[in-house]
Structure 1
Amino acid sequence: MSNLELAKKIVEVIGGKVNIVKATNCMTRLRVTVKDLGLIKEDELKNIDGVLGVVKNGNYIQIVLGPGKAKKITDICIDELGVPRDSGVTEDWKENKSAIKGAQKESKFKRIIATIANIFIPLIPAIIAAGIFNGLASLISTLQGQGTLSTVGFWNVTQLLFSLIGGGFLGYFAIYTGINSAKQFGATEGLGGMIGAMSISANIVALSQTFGLYNEEIPLNSILTTGKGGIIGVIMGVYLLAKIEKAIHKRMPDVLDLILTPLLTLLITAILFVFIIMPVAGFISDGLVSALSVIINSSNPVVSIISGYVLAALFLPMVLLGLHHGLIPIYAVQLEAMGGVSLFPVLAMAGAGQVGAAIAIYLIAKKVHNDRLKKVIVGALPAGFLGVGEPLIYGVTLPMFKPFITAGLGAGFGGAYVMLTHVLANSWGPSGLVAIPIMQPQSMLNFFFGLCISYIAGFIITYFVIKEEDVKNV
């Protein structure tokens, strides 16, 4: 089936173009918001050749297609089939009512997670690229310090260039977050970016000193300082910005709207953001880091092993529900407060457990001559090694269920090792072999060992738990 045929079939079974409010994609999924869930032929959708799985959250449908293909199918849906990229305002009140009722079926928690996902999903390619460039720059710098590489000429230019590329994104992450938050909350995107820029401005320190909120001895312990509250504060600030902007728009005469609305919106928001939201968000962020430190950064090896095992073993169900995007603010908080992310490398072991389990199933499938399952595994394994787990989850382990559990149990051993050895990453992204460059230089080898442990443990547990009849009848 060609990509065009697949796209047409998907649109058909979810109720046609008229049933789609908007469509977008992440790395492995076509994400569609529909008006009427009753028009979706879910069983038929799941059985389409090329669809690896379907996740529903209210009127928000995620169709798992795999890396690369998800973007191609989304582009075809939008560019060739006329599916709307952004939700528009329909004049049919019945359609509006249907869409609203569908959204109401979601829990508030899931709506929050969906919003967070929509803020950060468009940034994932940049996060990955920036992390890799920063990781390589850090590695070159370490080798230069050891005298292995020259500090002048080619390697010096390469290190500076890689740092420039990586820092060009991560250094201004708050601004990108502000822009995307404004898209989600219905504020002017440029104003959202300005809120993010305010949070990292040096003038914050001057204001903090003026009002006695700055700790000269330990700047990071200040009530107010540059970056206080991180992206949590930026998201809260842009949410407030959206409320204020909409309220002023309603009351402002048309002739003055273009000039006075952004002026007043920014003035009011800036005062509340700097003196209330940033300190409060900073308190939340500091508390979160302290709480995580008890578990994640414990000096007690027993605590490290247990917490690492449990976190890695339970991560796959979060991916299944699409809740893993809610962890991105925690990653960002860790990066800002600790200079590295320790939670991501632990959770990354979950994908490696999937790979080990899939290899075990492949060998069993070979014994029982299940050629269809072998073909699915061969197609999904390369993505699994590269840290994209959805094809293996929805194409192999979840339909069989038992391997979904054994993969998590195997991943836990890798998570325990990574936690015990205090592996730190420069950013976050895919969780497989391609994540090695985004680890800090001293952590790269231990991260690789963690992956190998998860591969082996996932393989062993799955191979001895799954019976031939389980694989033969899939």
Structure 2
Amino acid sequence: MTNLELAKVIVNLVGGKDNVVKAANCMTRLRLTIKNIDLVKMEELKNTEGVLGVVEANNYLQVVLGPGKAKKVTDICIEELGLPSDGVVTENWQENKQAIKDNQKQSKFKKVVNTIANIFIPLIPAIIAAGIFNGLASLVSTLQGQGTLPAEGFWKATQLMFALIGGGFLSYFAIYTGINSAKQFGATEALGGMLGAISISANIVALSTMLGLYDEAVPLNSILTTGKGGIIGVIFGVYILAKVEKAIRKRIPDVLDLILTPLLTLLITGLVFVFAIMPLAGFLSDGLVSALSVIINSSNPVVSVISGFVLSALFLPMVLLGLHHGLIPIYAVQLEAMGGVSLFPVLAMAGAGQVGAAIAIYLIARKVKNTRLQKVITGALPAGFLGVGEPLIYGVTLPMFKPFITAGLGAGFGGAYVMLTHVLATAWGPSGLVAIPIMQPQSMLNYFIGLVISYIAGFIITYFVIKESDVKNA
């Protein structure tokens, strides 16, 4: 089945173009917001050739297609089949009412997670690219410091170019976050970007110093300083901005709207953001980092081993429920406060546990002559090694269930090692082998060792727990 044929089948099974509010791509998934979930032929969709799995949450569907294919099918759905890439309002008020009701069925927590996902998912390609470039720049710099590479000339220019590209995104992460947050909260996107820019402006320090809120001895301990509150503050600030903008627009005459609405919105929100939201969000961020440090940066090896094992073992169920996007603000807070992310490398071990479990199942499947399962694993394993776990989750381990558990247990051992050795990443994105370049240079080897441990542990536990009859009947 071609990608075009697959796209047409999916659109038909979800109730047609008119039943889709929004379509978007998420790494390995086609994400769809549905008006009437009752029109979706769920079983047929799950059994469609090329569909690896379907995650359903009220009026929200994630059709798992695998890396590369998901993006291509999404583009076809939007560009050729006419699915909306953003939420649209139809002229049929009954359909709009039904869509709103369906959306209201979601729990508040799930809505928050989905909002966070929608803010950061469009940024993932840039996050990955910037992290890799920063990692390469750091690696070249380290090799130059050791005398392995020349300090000037070609390698100096290479290091500067890599750092320039990586910094082009991560240095202005707050601005991109502000723009996407505005899009989610219904504010003017440019104003959201301006609020993000305010948070990283050098004038914050001058203002803080004038008011006696700046600690020159330890700038990070200042009540107010550049970047205080990080992206948590930006997201909350843009949420307030959206409320203020809508309230002002209702009261401003149309002839003055273009001038006064953005002016008053930024003035009011800017004051609240700088003097209330940034210090408060900074306090919360500092508290979050401190709390996390007790668990994931502990000097006690016993605590490190236990926390690393538990976090890695439980990550796959979080992915299954779509809750893993809620961790992105924690990654960002760590990156801003610590200069690196320690939680991501630990959780990345979950995918490696899947790989080990899949290899064990493959050997058993070959023994019991389950050729169908062998083909599925053969097709999904390369993606698994590269950190894309959905094909293995939805095609192999989850349908069998027991391997889903043994894979998580195997991942726990790799997570324990990674936590114990204090591995740090320069960004976050796909895990597996492709994440090695985004680890800090001194962490690359230990991250790779953690992957190998997860492969082996996932294989051993699965091989000796799963019965041949389970694989034969799968």
Give TM class, smaller chain.
Answer: over 0.9
Shift of 1:154: 1.1
Shift of 1:59: 0.7
Separation in 1, partners of 2:371, 2:185:
48
Q: Find the counterpart in structure 1 of residue 111 from structure 2.
A: 111
Q: Find the counterpart in structure 2 of residue 248 from structure 1.
A: 248
Separation in 1, partners of 2:84, 2:304:
47
Q: Is the 8 A contact 1:331 1:428 kept in 2?
A: yes
Q: Find the counterpart in structure 2 of residue 21 from structure 1.
A: 21
1:231 lines up with 2:231 in the alignment: yes
1:262 lines up with 2:268 in the alignment: no
Name the aligned partner's letter for residue 144 of structure 1.
Q
Q: Is the 8 A contact 1:364 1:468 kept in 2?
A: yes
1:278 lines up with 2:282 in the alignment: no
1:11 lines up with 2:11 in the alignment: yes
Q: Find the counterpart in structure 2 of residue 211 from structure 1.
A: 211
SS class of match (1:48): coil
1:316 lines up with 2:309 in the alignment: no
1:175 lines up with 2:170 in the alignment: no
1:293 lines up with 2:289 in the alignment: no
Q: Is the 8 A contact 1:58 1:104 kept in 2?
A: no
Shift of 1:248: 1.0
Separation in 2, partners of 1:388, 1:219:
40
SS class of match (1:428): coil
SS class of match (2:333): helix
Q: Find the counterpart in structure 2 of residue 340 from structure 1.
A: 340
Shift of 1:15: 0.7
Q: Is the 8 A contact 1:387 1:430 kept in 2?
A: yes
Matches within 5 A, 1:152-167: 152-167=152-167
Name the aligned partner's letter for residue 372 of structure 1.
R
Deviations along 1:228-251, whole A, 9 cap, x unmatched? Answer: 000000000111111111111111
Point out where structure 1 has 5 or more consecutive residues left out of the alignment.
Answer: none
Q: Is the 8 A contact 1:31 1:63 kept in 2?
A: yes
Q: Find the counterpart in structure 1 of residue 413 from structure 2.
A: 413
Deviations along 1:310-346, whole A, 9 cap, x unmatched? Answer: 0000000000011101101000000111111000000
Q: Find the counterpart in structure 2 of residue 305 from structure 1.
A: 305
Deviations along 1:367-408, whole A, 9 cap, x unmatched? Answer: 111111111111111111111111111111000000000000
Name the aligned partner's letter for residue 319 of structure 1.
V
Q: Find the counterpart in structure 1 of residue 80 from structure 2.
A: 80
SS class of match (2:142): helix
Deviations along 1:400-430, whole A, 9 cap, x unmatched? Answer: 0000000000000000000000000001011
1:445 lines up with 2:442 in the alignment: no
Deviations along 1:168-221, whole A, 9 cap, x unmatched? Answer: 100110000001111101111111100110000010111111211111211101
Count the aligned residue pairs: 474
Bigger mean CA offset, 5-14 vs 109-118: 5-14
Separation in 1, partners of 2:471, 2:106:
35
Shift of 1:92: 1.3
SS class of match (1:217): coil
Separation in 2, partners of 1:178, 1:162:
25
Q: Find the counterpart in structure 2 of residue 35 from structure 1.
A: 35
Name the aligned partner's letter for residue 140 of structure 1.
V
SS class of match (1:228): coil
Deviations along 1:272-306, whole A, 9 cap, x unmatched? Answer: 00000001100110000000000011000000000
Shift of 1:104: 1.3
SS class of match (2:4): helix
Q: Find the counterpart in structure 1 of residue 202 from structure 2.
A: 202
Q: Find the counterpart in structure 2 of residue 68 from structure 1.
A: 68
SS class of match (1:150): coil
Q: Find the counterpart in structure 2 of residue 124 from structure 1.
A: 124
Point out where structure 2 has 5 or more consecutive residues left out of the alignment.
Answer: none
Runs of 4+ in 1 over 3 A off after TM superposition: none
Shift of 1:349: 0.3
TM-score normalised to structure 1 length: 0.99
Separation in 1, partners of 2:34, 2:347:
32
Superposition CA RMSD, Å: 0.7
Deviations along 1:64-84, whole A, 9 cap, x unmatched? Answer: 100111111111111111111
Name the aligned partner's letter for residue 314 of structure 2.
L
Separation in 1, partners of 2:114, 2:330:
16
SS class of match (2:55): strand
Separation in 2, partners of 1:5, 1:454:
38
TM-score normalised to structure 2 length: 0.99
1:190 lines up with 2:214 in the alignment: no
Q: Is the 8 A contact 1:349 1:450 kept in 2?
A: yes
Shift of 1:56: 1.2
Shift of 1:347: 0.4
